[in-house]
Amino acid sequence: MTDDSRAGAAAQRAADYAIHRAHHESVLRRLADRAGIWAYCPNAACRRRRACSRDDAFCFRAAVNALMTDEDRAFYGAAFALMGRGVPRDQAFAQARDVLAAQERALRGIGM
């Protein structure tokens, strides 16, 4: 493969990723708007517009962070970490509680 064809392939992958990312953020903004999540957003412009006004769908992420408990964050963090290691989704969610319980036992074992 020539350098030009590699550069062309890399440019195409970058363009495809940019399109995917823009679509993903658009979907998150629409979810935030429909659910009224902008009401929880620390960005005053979102609350004034009653819609997510940032390009990175900040309202959605801020609300999810504000509305989730520490236990929820730990559970989903464990499940997503397992999925990142290749564990199938259903199995990862089933194993996440076991992972958290093992972490809890380990912490108690060292006196925390």
Do 47 and 1 belong to one domain?
yes
- Split at pLDDT 50, 70, 90, the class of 1 is low
Q: What percentage of the chain reaches a pLDDT higher than 70?
A: 95
- Split at pLDDT 50, 70, 90, the class of 60 is confident
Q: Is the pLDDT of residue 91 over 90?
A: yes
Q: Is the pLDDT of residue 62 over 90?
A: no
Do 48 and 72 belong to one domain?
no
Do 110 and 59 belong to one domain?
no
**Torsion sign across C-alpha atoms 28, 34, 36, 38:** positive
Q: Which domain holds residue 31?
A: 1-67
